[in-house]
Amino acid sequence: MESIKDKIAIIGMGCCKFGENWNKSPEDMIIEAAYEAYEDAGIDPKDIQAAWLGTVGAHWVGMGGLALAEPLKLQGIPITRVENWCATGHEALRNASFAVACGMYDIAIAVGFEKLKDTGFPGLGIGRGMHPVMEMRRTAPSSFAFIATRYFHTYGLSPEEGKETIAKIAVKNHKNGSMHPKAHFQKEITLEQAVKAPIIAWPLGLFDCCGNSDGAAVAIITRADLAKKFRDDPIYIKGIGLSQNSMMPHFQPGFDWTGFEVTQIAAKQAYEQAGIKNPRKEIDLAVVHDCFTITELIIYEDLGFSPKGKAKEDIDAGTFALDGELPVNTDGGLKCFGHPVGASGLRMSYEIYKQLQGKGDKRQVKNAEIGLAHTLGGHPSVSCVMLYGNDRG
Amino acid sequence: MVGIKSYGAYIPISRMNRDIIGNAWGTRSIGGERSVANHDEDSLTMAVEAAINCLNGEDRQGVEGLFFASTTSPYKEKACSSIVATVADLNKEIWTSDFANSLRAGTSAVRAALNAIKSGEAKSIMVTAADCRLGTPRSVDEQTFGDGAAAILLGDSDVIATIEDVYSVSDDITDVWRTDQDTFVRSWEDRWVLINGYTKNMKAAISGIMKKSGLTPKDFTKVVLYSPDARSHLDLAKSLGFDPRTQLQDPLITTIGNVGTAQPLVLLVSALEEAKAGDRILLASYGDGSDVFIIQVTDAIEKVKNKRGVKRSVGLKMMLSSYEKYLAYRQLVSLPEEFIKLFPSASVMWRTQKWVLSCHGSKCKHCGLVSFPIQRVCFGCHSRDEFEEVRLSDKKGKVFTYSLDNLAGGVDPPTVQTIVESEEGGARIYCLMTDCNPKEVNVGLPVEMTFRRFHREGGFYNYFWKCRPAR
Q: Choose from B374, B419, B465 for mutation: most chain A CBs within 10 A.
A: B419
Q: Specify if A323 maps to a domain.
A: no
Q: Is the pLDDT of residue B463 over 90?
A: yes
**b/e code B159-191 from CB counts within 10 Å (16+ = b):** bbbebbebbbbeeebebbbbeeeeeebebeeee
Residue A294 near residue A143 (C-beta atoms within 8 A): no
Asked whether the beta carbons of residue B379 and residue A137 sit closer than 8 angstroms, the reply is no
Asked whether the beta carbons of residue B409 and residue A134 sit closer than 8 angstroms, the reply is no
Asked whether the beta carbons of residue B428 and residue A142 sit closer than 8 angstroms, the reply is no
Confidence at residue B140, expressed as pLDDT on a 0 to 100 scale = 97
Percentage with pLDDT > 70 across chain A: 100
Q: Specify if A73 maps to a domain.
A: yes
CB atoms within 10 A of CB B238: 12
Residue B193 near residue B176 (C-beta atoms within 8 A): yes
Please name the residues between 32 and 61 in chain A that touch chain B, using a CB distance below 8 Å: 58
Name the percent of chain B in helix, strand, coil, to the closest 5: 30, 30, 40
Residue B395: pLDDT band (50, 70, 90) is: very high
Tell me phi and psi for residue A270, to 5 degrees: -70, -40
Confidence at residue A393, expressed as pLDDT on a 0 to 100 scale = 81
Confidence at residue B340, expressed as pLDDT on a 0 to 100 scale = 77
Confidence at residue B306, expressed as pLDDT on a 0 to 100 scale = 78
Of A126, A141, A149, the CB nearest to B401: A149
Asked whether the beta carbons of residue B428 and residue A251 sit closer than 8 angstroms, the reply is yes
The closest of B284, B280, B279 to B267, measured between CA atoms, is B284
How many A/B residue pairs have CB atoms within 8 Å? 151
Q: Is the pLDDT of residue A169 over 90?
A: yes
- Shortest Cα distance, chain A CAs vs residue B380, angstroms: 9
CB atoms within 10 A of CB A258: 19
Q: Is the pLDDT of residue B15 over 80?
A: yes
Of B340, B402, B429, the CB nearest to A126: B340
Asked whether the beta carbons of residue B405 and residue A153 sit closer than 8 angstroms, the reply is no
CB contacts, 8 Å: A58 with chain B: 341
Q: A140-154 and A293-302 are packed helices; what angle lies between their axes, rounded to 10 degrees?
A: 60
Looking only at the bridges linking them, the beta strands covering A370-377 and A285-287 are parallel
Of A123, A131, A253, the CB nearest to B426: A253
Asked whether the beta carbons of residue A135 and residue B342 sit closer than 8 angstroms, the reply is yes
Residue A373 near residue A235 (C-beta atoms within 8 A): no
The predicted-structure confidence for A227-284, as pLDDT tens digits, reads as follows 999 999 999 999 999 999 999 999 999 999 999 999 999 999 999 999 999 999 999 9
The total number of structural domains that make up chain A = 1
Confidence at residue B305, expressed as pLDDT on a 0 to 100 scale = 76
- Shortest Cα distance, chain B CAs vs residue A284, angstroms: 35
Asked whether the beta carbons of residue B403 and residue A141 sit closer than 8 angstroms, the reply is yes
The predicted-structure confidence for B120-168, as pLDDT tens digits, reads as follows 999 999 999 999 999 999 999 999 999 999 999 999 999 999 999 999 9
Give the C-alpha separation, A167 to B94, whole Å: 59
**Mean pLDDT of the region B66-94:** 98
Q: Is the pLDDT of residue A122 over 80?
A: no
Asked whether the beta carbons of residue B407 and residue A247 sit closer than 8 angstroms, the reply is no
Q: Choose from B387, B403, B441 for mutation: most chain A CBs within 10 A.
A: B403
Q: Is the pLDDT of residue A129 over 80?
A: no
- Shortest Cα distance, chain B CAs vs residue A150, angstroms: 6
Active-site residue set of A: 86, 339
The residue type of B391 is R
Which pairs from B270-273 meet CB under 8 Å and 24+ separation? B270/B9, B270/B224, B270/B309, B270/B310, B270/B311, B271/B222, B271/B224, B272/B4, B272/B7, B272/B160, B272/B161, B272/B297, B272/B301, B272/B304, B272/B309, B273/B307, B273/B309, B273/B310, B273/B311
pTM equals 0.96
Q: Specify if A91 maps to a domain.
A: yes
Q: Specify if A69 maps to a domain.
A: yes
Asked whether the beta carbons of residue A132 and residue B419 sit closer than 8 angstroms, the reply is no
- Its ipTM equals 0.95
Q: Specify if A66 maps to a domain.
A: yes
Nearest CA in chain A to B347: A132
- Shortest Cα distance, chain A CAs vs residue B146, angstroms: 28
Asked whether the beta carbons of residue A139 and residue B432 sit closer than 8 angstroms, the reply is no
Nearest CA in chain A to B346: A132
Instruction: Please name every residue paired with A372 in a beta bridge, in sequence order, or none if there are none.
Output: A286, A387
Asked whether the beta carbons of residue B430 and residue A248 sit closer than 8 angstroms, the reply is yes
Of A125, A147, A252, the CB nearest to B339: A125
CB contacts, 8 Å: B341 with chain A: 58, 125-129
CB contacts, 8 Å: A141 with chain B: 403, 405, 407
Asked whether the beta carbons of residue B343 and residue A132 sit closer than 8 angstroms, the reply is yes
The closest of B244, B49, B80, B79 to B149, measured between CA atoms, is B49
CB contacts, 8 Å: B413 with chain A: none
> A191 — contact with chain B (CB < 8 Å)?
no
**Mean pLDDT of the region B334-344:** 84
> A244 — contact with chain B (CB < 8 Å)?
no
What does pLDDT average to over chain A? 96
Percentage with pLDDT > 70 across chain B: 100
Q: From edge to edge, which strands make up the β-sheet containing B65-70?
A: B95-100, B65-70, B124-131, B148-155, B3-10, B161-170, B289-297, B280-284, B222-225
CB contacts, 8 Å: A204 with chain B: 403
Domains of chain B and any CATH numbers? 3-329 (3.40.47.10), 346-469 (no CATH)
- Shortest Cα distance, chain B CAs vs residue A383, angstroms: 19
Of B349, B405, B426, the CB nearest to A132: B349
CB contacts, 8 Å: B375 with chain A: 247
Q: Specify if A77 maps to a domain.
A: yes
The closest of B198, B278, B268 to B240, measured between CA atoms, is B198
Confidence at residue A121, expressed as pLDDT on a 0 to 100 scale = 79
A48 contact partners, CB below 8 Å, separation of at least 6: A74, A77, A107, A108, A109, A220
Q: Is the pLDDT of residue B367 over 80?
A: yes
Residue B174: pLDDT band (50, 70, 90) is: very high
Asked whether the beta carbons of residue B404 and residue A199 sit closer than 8 angstroms, the reply is yes
Asked whether the beta carbons of residue A201 and residue B343 sit closer than 8 angstroms, the reply is no
Nearest CA in chain B to A159: B442
Q: Specify if A391 maps to a domain.
A: no
Confidence at residue B66, expressed as pLDDT on a 0 to 100 scale = 98
Q: Choose from A61, A116, A126 for mutation: most chain B CBs within 10 A.
A: A126
Of A129, A137, A247, the CB nearest to B408: A137
**Mean pLDDT of the region B90-104:** 97
Q: Is the pLDDT of residue A128 over 80?
A: no
CB contacts, 8 Å: A202 with chain B: 403-405, 414
Q: Report the SS3 class of residue B285.
A: coil
The DSSP H or E segment spanning B266 is helix B263-274
CB contacts, 8 Å: A132 with chain B: 342-345, 348-349, 457-458, 462
**b/e code B409-424 from CB counts within 10 Å (16+ = b):** bbebebbbbbbbbbeb
CATH code of the domain containing A83: 3.40.47.10
What does pLDDT average to over chain B? 97
Q: How many residues does chain B have?
A: 471
The predicted-structure confidence for B227-283, as pLDDT tens digits, reads as follows 999 999 999 999 999 999 999 999 999 999 999 999 999 999 999 999 999 999 999
**Mean pLDDT of the region B373-400:** 97
Tell me phi and psi for residue B153, to 5 degrees: -100, 120
Host domain of residue A22: 8-121+212-229
- Shortest Cα distance, chain B CAs vs residue A118, angstroms: 13
Q: Specify if A221 maps to a domain.
A: yes
The DSSP H or E segment spanning B192 is helix B190-192
